[in-house]
Amino acid sequence: MVVSGAENVEEEFRSVFFNVPEVAQNAKFCNNKIRTALYCADPLLIRTPPYFLIKGVVIEEFSKLANFYFLVIIALQSWSETTNTNGFPTTSPALTLVVVFASVIKFRQDIERFRADKALNEAACQRLVDGRFVASKWTQVKVGDFLKVDNREMLPADIVLVSAFEPDPAIPVGACYVETKSLDTRGLSSANFKGKLLIERPNPQTNKFTGKVMLQNQPEVVLSINNVLLRGSTVRNTDYVIGIVVNTGRDSKVMQGMRAPPLKHSSVDHWVNYMMIGVMLTQLSLCIISAFIHDGWNASLDVHWYMHEDLNEETPLPGIIFTMLSYYVVLSMFVSVSLYVSIDFNRTLYKTIMEKDPEMWHEESGTRLKVRTMSLIDECGCVSHVFSDKTGTLTQNVMQFRKCSINGVSYGHGNTEIGLARLRRGAGIEQRDRCRDFMLALALCHTVVVEMHGNEKRLSASSPDEAALVAAANFFGIEFINKQHSTVTLKDSFTGQSPTFEVLDVLEFTSARKRMSVVVREPKSGRIRMIIKGADSAIFPLLATGQDDILRATERHLEDHANDGLRTLLLAQKSLDEATYTDWARRYRAALTDLAELEKKEKELPNLIEKTMGELEHGLLLVGSTAIEDKLQDGVPHAIADLGRAGIAVWVLTGDKEETAINIAFACELFDTRTTVLVLNLKSHPTAKEVLAELTKSGKAAAGSASSGGKHALVIDGEVISLVMADKKLQLAMLELTQNCQSVVACRCAPSQKAQLVSLVKVNVKGAITLAIGDGANDVAMIQAAHIGVGISGQEGMQAANSADFSFAQFRFLLPLLLQHGRNHYRRMSTLTIYIFYKNIAMCLAMYWYIFSTAGTPQRVYLEGGIQFYNVLYTLVPIVIYSLYDKDVSDELSIKLPQLYHLGVRKVYMNLSVVLRWLFEALAESLIVFYLIVPSIMLPAGTTEITIFDKKGTTGETGSLMYLGDVLFASVLITITSKLCMRSFSQSRALYGFIALCLALYWGSYFFASTIKATDSLYTWGAQMYTGLWLKFVLNPQYWLFIFMTAVSCLGWQFFLSLWQRTFYPEFRDLAREAEYLGMSTDHLRRWSIPLTMRRLPLRPDAPRSVEPPPSLFARLVACCSCA
């Protein structure tokens, strides 16, 4: 069969047969078994461990550069030509511990996914077999099957609704309500199917569906998303539904959409990658330098023939490379084996702490904070721009009908209840009829369905606006009773009758059309009427001429209502003669059954369907306007004001009218009376040239007043945004203006434009970290475009929350997320990351100066066990405790003084100067430790010639090297541990307790090493020369004097520099800490405003650019280091 004469169109669709002989062709489609587990595929887990070891451990873990690095070190340690551990891979225990720890976490998470998959696959359902519904498993469901799904049951596959339970078969309603995380309320028609379905190929678009049903001996019927129930949805408002399966398993829309979200890494992760590359290059440079020094020293030994006894042996590599590899093994401590584990472990623990925070708990809805992307917790501490939706995000999304305008007369002025009572009484016969038409339009033009909860009737709607408007019609005399297939029954208190209107067509609302229409036939007269409602920008151009008076009055009322912060809609109607409607309906239905046009419509391309809709929607008579109140959520004004005090630019992106958006901005303290507001729309600036001139002029004015503390804001509408996004000059001018604006409001903004604005700032403002927050499906693109996505779990479902990195119930929770958790964690994670590199570099450089001083001899002076335990036992726990609990000020003061947050926006805790300062301190401390100890060292009595035994017999090994290494190791350990205490703001007993424990473990392990009878083995190699020495070392006063002297020498000057800075050049944080410590009032600090020159982030040199540039070769190399 050829559809619309186009075979190539039908090839893009697939046929599903039912109740016909061709049903066997459905077997080519996939089964209904799903698998989200990455490794666990076998029900008995028999084949899983080998697969997990290969993919989850060998491939994934060793694709991390750090792990691969240590794997190479193990290989070099095992190679006799480069080993300095007698061939024993001493690094392997530490690497094994790290890999096992990461793998266990990964495997546990996969087991949970496997169990969830198993529970779904074995869930029960009812499938039609031989004329009756029998109990089956979800895995037995096939394409073309008929399913019966009871109330409150979950759908096992995507189905096209065939029928629903009818309380009274004589009066079929044919509607059900679908509750799901990402779907809106749908009204669904029922029918008996026998033939085939021609439907779209599997795709993840849960709000779109294209297809048609071809029944035997019946006309073709077009299908849309309104006819489909999706897998994972729950049936509501009916005892059961019956449907035919069209997509199973991985072909279902939900599973098609379960792709990996955009990969997001924090700025700390990027710094880790850069530092990893830098440290490895530094290590390589030191190895090359040492290799040349050693080679030069060997060349100088020509006169000493006896020193060349072993130098003539052949090696498989050139001498310089062989020597360099030996140094690479010796200096392998430059990279910490526990780096990634420390970061991941810290984020895992802090995620749990955040999710249990009672301050983030919303009692009314029972909703907690949910962290879905742990790597972005610390990124919440440096957000520079917040992009927020309005409805349901800043507001409650609970609509109340407040005011209206009917036939040019405004109702609801002054006391709202009195005004509405006046509307209910009416005024004059003509105006009474106009009021009846107005309420009739509200009662007919919607997609609301009636739910019965016992004897209580409830209205279920895809939007709270629609429910509020229908409820208003009920209140004022036109009650919506029910909808039965293509008829709507009302109760008209104006006439005392219950008319039934035939619904001929519903022209659905889309974000592009910004309106919806219904075509109905009146019950007695048979007259055809079209009723339309939508945004004023969409309705005004469609009105017939000759309505100037009512039009001017309505426009004035719309402006008044918008100034009150109310959401407004226009209502209009027209009468149609039978011939006009019949001709239009014929062409409209032909367009609806054209799959090519349906495909264009789904892709939001120009199409014949919407063009035909527009042919009917003109020459309208204005009925009136509505004004609905959507109250602000609790704490929104305070939250937005504090975000501004924190130095964060707040952008509100909304679809509301300009006046409504401006007044909401004032209500939530986005603007104040001191703010200079620039309003840009096509009425005031109709051309791109005028828009550019105004942006340039205002940008210069805002920049000029920045130093004097002037506040500026921009209000821009969707039409101007379209001009801006199409012209790079306009983009640059807008970016330059917004650099000096504390806030921006975008009104009449389409969902795609929200994402464009986020990307414009994200890509072009240097150092900008963007956060997007919304509650609806139309906010998902914006949420995913931003660095950090936050979803509000509210009235519009869970799609935004499920697509976000963080989710919670109220906008006000953004304050503790950013100002408390984000600020503290970003500061602590920055310190943790740099500290891990610092402590390894300090320890390794102290040993390198020994190598440098001994003619470049590749010899370790530390006990091998100490080297391996250094990262995983002696220093791991204290820095993790610090990074979880250290606070510079209390949580209460973090919220009270949001100005503290701007240190993160300015990247004070993690930048190049901070990294270089830490590295300089590591270099200086290693030099102080080595050159303070080596010239002063004197062996304790009796240790000059310590004779020990090995397998071969007596050797004359001396303990002096072990003594030097022990003092160096202990001095560095005490120094870097004391430095952590010095950097800690909180006097934490836990931190000091674990430091004491780790030091006890250090000296305890060295005592154990000195007591055991060491042999040549993996775990005891290198301890032979240490036997019996520990007690002699620790009983020598010099040992403790060296440790104390080096710690004071290394940290004393840093302590006094820090004290001098806090005393004579205190920062805002220092003042806040002092005020809190002394119990002083902080009100004067709260009144301080961050200067605009400090808030402003520069544009990139190549701005504006619309997309991220392709990564450079170095950036791709750095990406190899990314934390998995």
The CATH number of whichever domain residue 751 belongs to comes to: 3.40.50.1000
Query: Would 582 be classed as within a structural domain?
Result: yes
Q: Residue 177 has what DSSP assignment?
A: E
Region of 719 please: left (phi>0), alpha (psi -120 to 50) or beta. alpha
Cβ atoms of 725 and 756 within 8 Å: the answer is: yes
> Which pLDDT band, with edges at 50, 70 and 90, does 399 fall under?
confident
Q: Name the residue with higher pLDDT: 629 or 192.
A: 629
Residue 655 assigned to a binding site: yes
Could you give the CA distance from residue 201 to residue 199 in angstroms, rounded to a whole number? 7
What pLDDT was estimated at residue 960?
67
Residue 1093 assigned to a binding site: no
What pLDDT was estimated at residue 419?
42
* For residue 918, pLDDT beyond 90: yes
Cβ atoms of 1042 and 933 within 8 Å: the answer is: yes
- Among 343-347, 460-464, 647-651, the range of highest mean pLDDT: 647-651
Mean pLDDT of the chain: 80
Could you give the CA distance from residue 225 to residue 230 in angstroms, rounded to a whole number? 9
Q: Which of 237, 256, 275 is the last residue of a domain?
A: 256
What pLDDT was estimated at residue 476?
86
* CATH number for position 513: 3.40.1110.10
Q: Which of 628, 656, 671 is the last residue of a domain?
A: 628
* For residue 710, pLDDT beyond 80: no
Residues 979-999 have a mean pLDDT of: 90
Task: Work out how many domains the chain is built from and give that number.
Answer: 4
Q: Is 383 helix (H, G, I), strand (E, B) or coil?
A: coil
Residue 610: which of 499, 511, 733, 700 has the closest Cα?
511
Lowest mean pLDDT of 33-47, 320-334, 626-640, 876-890, name the range: 33-47
Residue 711 shares a structural domain with residue 753: yes
Cβ atoms of 334 and 844 within 8 Å: the answer is: yes
Lowest mean pLDDT of 217-231, 770-784, 978-992, name the range: 217-231
% of the chain residues with pLDDT over 70? 83
Residue 364 assigned to a binding site: no
What pLDDT was estimated at residue 863?
80
Q: How far apart are the first and last CA of the chain?
A: 51
* For residue 383, pLDDT beyond 90: yes
> Angle at Cα 702 formed by Cα 699 and Cα 705, nearest 5°?
150
Could you give the CA distance from residue 1016 to residue 1023 in angstroms, rounded to a whole number? 9
Query: Would 58 be classed as within a structural domain?
Result: no
* CATH number for position 148: 2.70.150
Cβ atoms of 808 and 367 within 8 Å: the answer is: yes
Residue 533 assigned to a binding site: yes
Residue 898 shares a structural domain with residue 1026: yes
Enter the tokens of residue 98.
């790290």
Residue 806 shares a structural domain with residue 885: no
Lowest mean pLDDT of 34-48, 226-240, 556-570, 855-869, name the range: 34-48
Lowest mean pLDDT of 585-599, 733-747, 759-773, 1065-1079, name the range: 585-599
- With tokens 């002092």, the residue in question is 1074
Catalytic residue among 110, 158, 184, 389: 389
Could you give the CA distance from residue 1035 to residue 793 in angstroms, rounded to a whole number? 64
* For residue 958, pLDDT beyond 80: no
Residue 466 assigned to a binding site: yes
Residue 778 assigned to a binding site: yes
Q: Each residue of 829-867: b (16+ CB within 10 Å) or e?
A: bbbbbbbbbbbbbbbbbbbbbbbbeeebbbebbbbbbbb
What pLDDT was estimated at residue 167?
61
Could you give the CA distance from residue 343 to residue 734 in angstroms, rounded to a whole number? 39
Residue 145 assigned to a binding site: no
Query: Would 596 be classed as within a structural domain?
Result: yes
Residue 836 shares a structural domain with residue 787: no
- The string of pLDDT tens digits covering residues 572-602 is 999 999 999 999 999 998 888 787 887 787 7
Q: Name the residue with higher pLDDT: 628 or 325.
A: 628
Residue 567 shares a structural domain with residue 672: no
Lowest mean pLDDT of 24-28, 354-358, 508-512, 815-819, name the range: 508-512
> Which pLDDT band, with edges at 50, 70 and 90, does 304 fall under?
low
Enter the tokens of residue 801.
């929350």
What pLDDT was estimated at residue 262?
57
Residue 389 assigned to a binding site: yes
* For residue 440, pLDDT beyond 80: yes
Helices (H), 606-764: 608-616, 636-645, 658-667, 688-704, 718-725, 728-738, 751-764
What pLDDT was estimated at residue 11?
56
Query: Would 922 be classed as within a structural domain?
Result: yes
Q: Is 694 helix (H, G, I), strand (E, B) or coil?
A: helix
Residue 871 shares a structural domain with residue 1013: yes
Residue 1086 assigned to a binding site: no
Query: Would 55 be classed as within a structural domain?
Result: no
Query: Would 296 be classed as within a structural domain?
Result: no
What pLDDT was estimated at residue 605?
79
Residue 530 shares a structural domain with residue 664: no
Residue 724 shares a structural domain with residue 844: no
> Which pLDDT band, with edges at 50, 70 and 90, does 997 fall under?
very high
Query: Would 167 be classed as within a structural domain?
Result: yes
For residue 663, give its domain range. 371-391+647-814
The CA distances from residue 214 to 2, 197, 198, 217, 223, in Å, are: 12, 6, 8, 9, 11
- The string of pLDDT tens digits covering residues 501-549 is 999 988 888 767 888 999 999 988 889 999 999 888 889 999 998 888 8
Cβ atoms of 811 and 773 within 8 Å: the answer is: yes
* For residue 151, pLDDT beyond 70: yes
Residue 593 assigned to a binding site: no
Could you give the CA distance from residue 459 to residue 456 in angstroms, rounded to a whole number? 10
Cβ atoms of 589 and 613 within 8 Å: the answer is: no
> Which pLDDT band, with edges at 50, 70 and 90, does 649 fall under?
very high
Residue 60 assigned to a binding site: no
Q: Which of 759, 789, 814 is the last residue of a domain?
A: 814
Residue 710 shares a structural domain with residue 569: no
Residues 227-244 have a mean pLDDT of: 81
Residue 589 shares a structural domain with residue 661: no
Q: Residue 765 has what DSSP assignment?
A: B
Residue 796 shares a structural domain with residue 856: no
Helices (H), 319-366: 319-330, 339-355
How would you class 784 by CB atoms within 10 Å of its CB: exposed for 0-12, middle for 13-18, buried for 19 or more? middle
> Which pLDDT band, with edges at 50, 70 and 90, does 4 fall under?
very low
The CA distances from residue 587 to 225, 515, 531, 817, in Å, are: 22, 21, 20, 54
- Among 393-407, 721-735, 1018-1032, the range of highest mean pLDDT: 721-735
Quick check: is 389 catalytic?
yes
Could you give the CA distance from residue 1112 to residue 1114 in angstroms, rounded to a whole number? 5
Could you give the CA distance from residue 826 to residue 908 in angstroms, rounded to a whole number? 10
Cβ atoms of 680 and 715 within 8 Å: the answer is: yes
Q: Name the residue with higher pLDDT: 829 or 751.
A: 829
What pLDDT was estimated at residue 55?
65
Residue 162: which of 132, 125, 191, 133 has the closest Cα?
191
Residue 762 shares a structural domain with residue 651: yes
Residue 1092: which of 699, 742, 819, 771 has the closest Cα?
742
What pLDDT was estimated at residue 949?
30
Residue 1104: which of 692, 733, 764, 691 has the closest Cα?
764
Query: Would 1008 be classed as within a structural domain?
Result: yes
